Amino acid sequence: MADINSTLGMDTICLHGGHTPESNRAHLTPIYASSTYTFDSAEQAIAMFKGEEKGYIYARWGNPTINEAEEKIALLEAYGLKDSSGNPLKLKAILHASGMGAICTMLLGNVHAGQKILTHYSLYGGTHELVEKILPELGIGYSIVDFHDLSKVEDALKSNKSIALMHIETPANPTLQCLDIAALSALAKQHGVIVCVDNTFATPYLQQPFRYDVDYVMHSTTKFLNGHGTAIGGVLLGKDLDRMNKSMTKMHRLLGANSNAFEAFLLTNGLRTFTLRMERHCSNAQKVADYLEQNPNVARVNYLGLASHPDVAIAEKQMKHPGAMLSFELKGGFDAGIRFIDNLKLLTSAVSLGTCDTLISHPASTTHVGVPREERITFGITDGLIRMSVGIENIEDILNDLEQAITPNPSR
């Protein structure tokens, strides 16, 4: 079997990484639709339960289809990186039922009652609710600080010894704020605080947080990693292999946050073309941002590849490209937002992101409809804000649909 490791090219890893030849010589790893696995003997069962012999026991703990997706993503996040001894960095990935499942394993496995999570105000809504509403009931507190202001972060770490974990999401929804992973991680490490980065928006194609001494990376694989919008999933990655194999694995198993063979298969299949897709997503996004910036009906464009974005210097430092996510503010406010969505003829009106086709949403009338107006505006979710996950359609077709949908036309 070929040695597919993180020193090979990223395209090669996407295709061959994590693949183990299968006994029936199937070219692709099949969907292992079996809840349990058999033992040759009682001795073998004992050895497997003791961890002395490797093998599959029960599908909540893993199966070959899940394993391939995990190993592929671990190689992608470790791509080209070295450990402290100068050897290729080894990571362990645990596939989950969803991004939220991965966040739950990571938080519950690292933060205990009486301790706190330190995070930034711009977070995925589900993570925000988990930290703000669910975990406090278990005695786990939180502090929210503007992560752009490193002196405030340092003050929080100095004055609050109960902070156990720093959670960084960058770039963040929906204004594409970008946070300095190296600086934040260095501060956290000075205070013995664990660091996790949600790398969903960037993906390992654009940004590799393990470069900056973080402890964990997580993703909603539902997005660019799967790339086709066919399955919900999440992954937690860690470099402390002992901890990942013991306490994180235990937490994942006992929370029942496991993935399944079918969705893992869809993820692996999507990953095979991940780098090619990302290249096109990114080049299209830059062209869309340039077009929107000169459109007279657009008040503002939030894209990390435009000089007007306040975080452009951070993005240039830590990302290979500004990515495929952007948002823009229509001049006509809420009504213009609604009209724009209704006018779309080609591009898809849907929440979520990272699928091959362009997805467009109007947060004020959908994901944030229940958030009081003043509150959402503080988070940058203004009335006419449109979020766009730029797809891989032909760029002319994307631009033409945007043009006709943005242009105000009262007769429509």
Ligand X SMILES: Cc1ncc(COP(=O)(O)O)c(C=O)c1O
Name the active-site residue from 32, 124, 212, 303: 124
Q: State in angstroms the smallest separation of the CB of 103 from ligand X.
A: 6
Task: Indicate the residue among 71 and 198 with the shorter CB distance to ligand X.
Answer: 198
* Residue 234 is a binding residue for ligand X (CB under 6 A): yes
Residues composing the chain: 412
Residue 229 in tokens = 């919008």
Task: Indicate the residue among 99 and 391 with the shorter CB distance to ligand X.
Answer: 99
Phi, psi of 219 (to 5 degrees): -140, 150
79 is catalytic: no
Q: Give me the residues paired with residue 258 across strands.
A: 96
* Residue 210 is a binding residue for ligand X (CB under 6 A): no
345 is catalytic: no
Q: State in angstroms the smallest separation of the CB of 343 from ligand X.
A: 25
* Residue 105 is a binding residue for ligand X (CB under 6 A): no
Q: State in angstroms the smallest separation of the CB of 70 from ligand X.
A: 16
* Residue 200 is a binding residue for ligand X (CB under 6 A): yes
Q: State in angstroms the smallest separation of the CB of 132 from ligand X.
A: 15
Among 63, 119, 122, 220, binds ligand X (CB under 6 A): 220
- Residues in binding contact with ligand X, number by CB under 6 A: 14
Q: State in angstroms the smallest separation of the CB of 128 from ligand X.
A: 10
Give Cβ neighbours of residue 134 (< 8 Å, ≥ 6 apart).
Answer: none
Q: How many CB atoms lie within 10 A of CB 27?
A: 8
Report whether 216 contacts 196 (CB < 8 A).
yes
Coil, strand, or helix at residue 200?
Answer: coil
C-alpha to C-alpha distance for 353 and 68, rounded to whole angstroms: 24
Among 70, 71, 77, 198, binds ligand X (CB under 6 A): 198
Among 135, 178, 232, 282, binds ligand X (CB under 6 A): 232
Q: State in angstroms the smallest separation of the CB of 223 from ligand X.
A: 7
C-alpha to C-alpha distance for 177 and 198, rounded to whole angstroms: 13
C-alpha to C-alpha distance for 138 and 116, rounded to whole angstroms: 11
C-alpha to C-alpha distance for 392 and 56, rounded to whole angstroms: 38
Task: Indicate the residue among 100 and 386 with the shorter CB distance to ligand X.
Answer: 100
Report whether 408 contacts 332 (CB < 8 A).
yes
Binders of ligand X among residues 155 to 184 (CB under 6 A) are: 169
Coil, strand, or helix at residue 220?
Answer: strand
* Residue 328 is a binding residue for ligand X (CB under 6 A): no
C-alpha to C-alpha distance for 80 and 164, rounded to whole angstroms: 29
Name the active-site residue from 180, 198, 311, 401: 198
C-alpha to C-alpha distance for 329 and 346, rounded to whole angstroms: 20
**332-336, long-range: CB < 8 A, 24+ apart:** 332/297, 332/384, 332/408, 333/382, 333/383, 333/384, 334/364, 334/365, 334/383, 334/384, 336/297, 336/384, 336/408
Which residue's CB atom is positioned nearest to ligand X?
Answer: 99
Task: Indicate the residue among 127 and 268 with the shorter CB distance to ligand X.
Answer: 127
Name the active-site residue from 56, 60, 213, 290: 60
* Residue 263 is a binding residue for ligand X (CB under 6 A): no
* Residue 99 is a binding residue for ligand X (CB under 6 A): yes
Residue 39 in tokens = 């033992």
Q: How many CB atoms lie within 10 A of CB 185?
A: 21
For the chain, state the CA radius of gyration: 22
Q: State in angstroms the smallest separation of the CB of 367 from ligand X.
A: 9
* Residue 98 is a binding residue for ligand X (CB under 6 A): yes
* Residue 126 is a binding residue for ligand X (CB under 6 A): yes
Name the active-site residue from 72, 92, 116, 223: 223
* Residue 134 is a binding residue for ligand X (CB under 6 A): no
223 is catalytic: yes
311 is catalytic: no
Q: Which residues are catalytic?
A: 60, 124, 198, 223
* Binding residues for ligand X (CB under 6 A): 98-100, 124, 126-127, 169, 198, 200-201, 220, 222, 232, 234
